[in-house]
Amino acid sequence: MAATTNPSKQTLLLHASITIKLSRTSHRAWKRQATSLLSGINVIGHIDGTTPSQTPMILTAGVSTPNPEYANWFQIDQLIINLLLSSMTEIDCLSFASYDTARTLWVAIEAQYASTSRSHVMSIKNQIQRCTKGEKSITDYLFYVKSLADELTVVDRKISDDDLTLYVLNGLGSEYRDIAASIRTREQPFSFEELHNHLLAHDEYIHRESQVEFQVPTANITHKNFKHDGLLATPSFGRGYSSFTPRGSHSGRGYGQGKSKGSNFRGNKPLQRCQFCSTIGHIALYCPQIPKPSNSPVAHYTYANPTNSNWVFDTGASHHVANNLNNMHIHSEYDGPEEVQIGDGTGSGDEGGFDARSK
């Protein structure tokens, strides 16, 4: 069996790459990926200082001789510098191009970005604490909180399951109050998957309940005004149809038409004759020649000879109408603008023995 040759560190570094571009907001994530890669190739000592730097020449017994370890160290160190610079933008690459060792380059990067990235960590923590569901679906909301928690884990530290659950529940609306209370009282912490399943089931229940139509008792009132304008429903000779016949007309063409003779319909039933204008085809109730009543208030008065002469004291009325002022023991002239009109058309403005303006 042929022996397997492990690739050299130089080969691994030559094909390695850091996918995250270095910036002020991504420094901690970039640092995490870079250190993981260099640790896997076993060259992390070139940036953390555990691997001492080498010089081209060394002194041996007072004589300067070439350093046998320098070539290997220098090759690996330069590959690390190339790896770090390739993960930067063009502007940052120009800023750090003057550093000639991986260790000095790493220290410069930390000095440039480490202090400012702390504000990014605080920003993520603030976002996750103030996050609310709003109009998002429950799945979108949960994964948004989870993405913030994952980012915080990369750049700072891992969030516990209890803290993540608390952040999620604090951003839910009042419709999740019942399920939130049951989750808080559980002894064992929820994993993210369990929390997602519980909230998703409750969200589906809320959605299903919102689709139920509740029958609310209501009271309705309808009012129908019939306006005939002189038309009167008359029977026809057809089956199941009737028509309105204009005033003064007889049979016509249309649904249920037929012949009529004189003023008689089938069964010798005579047409209606108006009691007011004597026109055949309508009655006085619908006669167009009768003036339509006005909408102004009208007071009607009827009088009959009383059989009981006893008066009822303190009726509570403020004004009284009588056909004879002698029936009023105390009365005075009425000076208001209103008038009283009786059935025969006379009123307080007409001449005669009746005075409706006294009270």
Residue 205: inside a domain: yes
> If you write DSSP's letter for every residue of 193-253 in order, what string do you get?
HHHHHHHHHHHHHHHHHHTPPP--------------TT-EEEE-SSSS-EEEEPTT----S
Kindly state whether residue 313 falls inside one of the protein's structural domains.
no
- Cβ distance 204 to 259 under 8 Å? no
Q: How many domains does the chain have?
A: 3
Nearest partner of 35 among 18, 23, 14, judged by Cα: 18
Q: H helices then E strands: how many in the chain?
A: 10, 4
Asked if residue 161 and residue 125 are part of one domain, the reply reads no
Q: Does the residue 320 lie in any domain?
A: no
Instruction: Please say if the pLDDT value at position 34 is more than 90.
Output: yes
Could you say which of 297, 324, 344 is where a domain stops?
297
Integer distance in angstroms from the first to the last C-alpha of the chain?
135
Shared-domain flag, residues 183 and 252: no
Mind listing the pLDDT tens digit for each residue in 264-276? 444 455 678 888 8
Q: 39: which strand partners?
A: none
Q: Are residues 172 and 199 in the same domain?
A: yes
Q: Spell out the alpha helix ranges (H) of 65-220.
A: 70-86, 90-95, 102-130, 138-155, 161-170, 177-184, 192-210
Q: Is residue 40 part of a domain?
A: yes
What's the mean per-residue pLDDT of the chain? 74
Residues 92 and 19 in one domain: yes
Q: pTM for this structure?
A: 0.40
25, 118: one domain? yes
Question: Are both 87 and 190 inside the same structural domain?
Answer: no
Question: Nearest 5°: CA angle at 208, between 202 and 212?
Answer: 140
Q: Which residues, other chains included, contact 125 with Cβ-Cβ below 8 Å and sequence gap of 6+? A: 152
Taking the C-alpha atoms of residue 258 and residue 255, their distance in angstroms, rounded to an integer, is 9
Residue at 339: amino acid letter: E
pLDDT recorded at residue 107? 93
Which pLDDT does position 265 carry in this prediction? Answer: 42
Residues 120 and 25 in one domain: yes
Q: Give yes or no for residue 124 having a pLDDT over 80.
A: yes
The upper half-sphere exposure of residue 125, i.e. CA atoms within 13 Å in the direction of its Cβ, equals 12
For the segment 295-322, the average pLDDT, to the nearest whole number, is 57
314: amino acid identity, one letter: D
Same domain, 144 and 172: yes
Please report whether residue 36 resides in a domain: yes
pLDDT band of 100, cuts 50, 70, 90: very high
Q: Encoding tokens for residue 31?
A: 């640092």
- My answer on whether 105 and 41 are in the same domain is yes
Are 16 and 86 within one domain?
A: yes
Give 113's strand partners.
none
Q: Are residues 103 and 20 in the same domain?
A: yes
Tell me the Cα Rg of the chain.
52
**Structural domain contains residue 254:** yes
Interval 136-189: pLDDT, tens:
888 899 899 988 888 788 667 788 888 888 889 999 988 888 888 888 888 888
According to the model, what pLDDT value does residue 274 have?
Answer: 85
Q: What integer pLDDT is reported at residue 299 of this predicted model? A: 53
**Type of residue at 27:** H
CA distance linking residue 16 with residue 75, whole number of Å: 15
Question: Which tokens is 29 given?
Answer: 């994530």
Domain assignment present for 238? yes
Domain housing 113: 9-54+70-130
User: Is residue 219 domain-resident?
Assistant: no
Higher pLDDT, 206 or 318: 206
Q: Which two tokens stand for residue 232?
A: 């009167």
Question: Which of these three, 297, 315, 347, is where a domain ends?
Answer: 297
Domain endpoint, select from 130, 162, 180: 130
235 lies in the same domain as 177: no
The whole-angstrom separation of Cα 13 and Cα 32 is 17
The single residue listed with the structure tokens 């994530």 is 29
